[in-house]
Structure 1
Amino acid sequence: MSMRLDGKTAIITGGAGGIGWAAATLFLEQGARVVVADYNEAAGMQRIASLDPKLQGQARFIAVDVSSEEQVEAMAHAALAWLGAIDILVNNAGITRDAMLSRMTTEQWKQVLDVNLSGVYYCTKHVSPHMAARGKGKIINTSSIVGVQGNLGQTNYAAAKAGVIGMTRTWAKELGYKGVCVNAVAPGFIATDMVASMPEQAIAAMSERVPLRRLGQPEDVAQAYLYLASDAADYVNGTVLEVNGGLSI
């Protein structure tokens, strides 16, 4: 059976987290070499160590705080030195600092915008020139249903994730003629560690609102990343793929 990413190389930010790691393992299983880039060094190293020995040589962890342009630039150089070329960039890193507008602090606002919006900008700024020079590449940005529809208590997150969609569509126009496809994935309610820490009642209520009557799994989002990263999506550019079970919040 042919592997969909055979011979490809990828950087996945937030790669040690639930969705990021699901994507990293799927990409590895599909033949890619993967840089797992994450702020949490202990978690990242543990993830790499947990891999099947056959896959360990195809993965490398690089510590990075995507809100720091200096660190992002260093990560991009290190990734390029190891991979030789970068075919795929998945801008998956993100945080939440939820609060209603009346209670949200300026620090909470800035933290989320720095990671979720500026981080995507920095990573794309430092990886896309390499892709453009080669005349090919896939950039996948992680937005959210909240960036499409808004949500109570998430002014900062909604602003960042809506901004990601705006950047995605802009870069699709700027980079498309250079052979680089730029798309976004907008997950709905996904069963990550962050959601798992919520009360069972709240999780049940969330599931009831989804037409499919279940939360999404990290693997559901990873499969969307895989499609957009693969040759099957070579004519998909500037789109937002919603992975939300039909949810309209």
Structure 2
Amino acid sequence: MDQSLFDLSGRTALITGGGRGLGRDIAEAFAEHGANIAICSRKLSNCQETVDYIQNKYSVQARAYVCDVGNEENVISTVNEVLSDFGQIDILVNNSGATWGEKAEKMPLEAWQKVLNVNVTGTFLMSKAVGNHMIEKGYGKIINIGSVAGLKAEPAEVLNAIGYSTSKAAIHHFTKDLARKWAEYGVTVNAIAPGFFETTMTKHILERSGDRIKEKNPMNKLGDTNSLKATAILFAGRASDYITGQVIAIDGGGSL
């Protein structure tokens, strides 16, 4: 197999929410395959820590930025900064996410709005800002982070966060719709729908229901980061040049 299909040398990847969790794992995977890395989130310290780690371990450029993905002016400013620093954005990973655990009948409106603003509006705003640059140069790879929560309804004792689930279902359709619209410009748009991985966001769920989740999973285990990294590399490189509008669940069969 031609290994250059997975080579990201000379590419620049912008990863939102890349300071920790799955975003950090993806950032490291891209750096390992030669991409320069731009990471943004509302907390600069997390991003800078990841940038320092990447620069010490890999021979790539990496920079951290502060960005509230739900604020259009902030998004545009951040994208312009990245373009000024790197000259291009070839890969965008919309990973920033928020959740709020509560029964649907008690969910505060402000909680619902916060989750959708970060997860859905943030993905739209960042895709729009970076997409204009990608369309202009006729090339781009957009990777949206969805969730198996957007593929199936979990029982309340496993996941009781209707805003989060709804937002991830929206991301999956957004991915397909945008892929259809931007295919003619040389921009592919795909999504990864992770199952249950050990992250800061899932910590409380796994502490409460981890054993049950593993028992119900066809593979009887939680997610491993290597599977996530491999799928991200596939979507980011030339190997996926004929793949667009797809949502791949990395969940050990949990969404079946």
Name the TM-score class by shorter chain: over 0.9
Moved more, 28-37 or 46-55: 46-55
Query: Which of these residues, 146, 171, 191, is aligned with residue 143 of structure 1?
Result: 146
Corresponding residue number in structure 2 for 1:185: 192
**TM-score normalized with structure 2 length:** 0.92
Q: 1:186, CA displacement in angstroms? A: 0.7
User: What secondary structure, in the 3-state scheme, does the structure 2 residue paired with 1:193 have?
Assistant: coil
* CA distance 1:139–1:51, shift in 2 (3 Å): closer
Equivalent residue runs for 1:49-198 within 5 Å: 49-53=52-56, 55=58, 58-151=61-154, 152=156, 153-198=160-205
Residue equivalent to 1:207: 214
Find the aligned partners of 1:201 and 1:13 in 2 and give their Cα distance: 28
- Specify which of 15, 18, 24 is matched with residue 21 of structure 1: 24
Task: Report the alpha carbon displacement of residue 225 of structure 1 after superposing the two structures with TM.
Answer: 1.2
Does structure 2 conserve the Cα–Cα contact (< 8 Å) formed by 1:23 and 1:219? no
SS in structure 2 of the partner of residue 184 of structure 1: strand
Report deviation, 1:218.
Answer: 3.4
Note the alpha carbon deviations across 1:74-118, whole angstroms, 9 max, x for none.
Answer: 111011111111110000110111111111000110010000000
Distance (Å, rounded) in 1 between the aligned partners of 2:173 and 2:26? 23
Structure 1 unaligned regions, length at least 5: none
How far did 1:194 drift? 2.8
Does the aligned pair in 2 maintain the 1:191–1:218 contact within 8 Å? no
Conserved? CA contact 2:145–2:191, under 8 Å: yes
Q: What RMSD over aligned residues (CA atoms) do the two structures have, in Å?
A: 1.7
- In the alignment, the residues of structure 1 paired with residue 132 and residue 139 of structure 2 have an alpha-carbon distance, to the nearest angstrom, of 10
Contact 2:198/2:206 (8 A) holds in 1: no
Specify whether residues 179 and 102 from structure 1 end up closer, same or farther in structure 2 by C-alpha distance, changes over 3 A only.
same
2:221 is matched by which residue type in structure 1?
R
Q: 2-side partners of 1:108 and 1:137: how far apart? A: 33
Of 223-232 and 200-209, more deviation after overlay is shown by: 200-209
| 1:52, distance to aligned residue in structure 2 (A) | 5.0
CA shift at 1:199, angstroms? 6.0
| Runs ≥4 residues deviating over 6 A | none
Q: In the alignment, is the contact (CA less than 8 A) between 1:192 and 1:218 conserved in 2?
A: no
Q: Distance in 2 between matches of 1:64 and 1:204?
A: 36
State how far apart, in whole Å, the 2-side matches of 1:211 and 1:233 are. 28
| Distance in 1 (alpha carbons) for counterparts of 2:246 and 2:162 | 23
Q: Percent identity among equivalent residues?
A: 35
1:227 counterpart = 2:234:
yes
Whether 1:241 aligns to 2:248 is: yes
The C-alpha deviation readout for 1:99-145, integer Å capped at 9, x for no partner, is 11111000110010000000000000100011011111100111111
CA contact (8 A) 2:176 2:246 kept: yes
Alpha-carbon offset, residue 56 of structure 1: 7.0
TM-score, structure 1 as length reference: 0.94
Indicate the larger mover: 117-126 or 190-199. Answer: 190-199
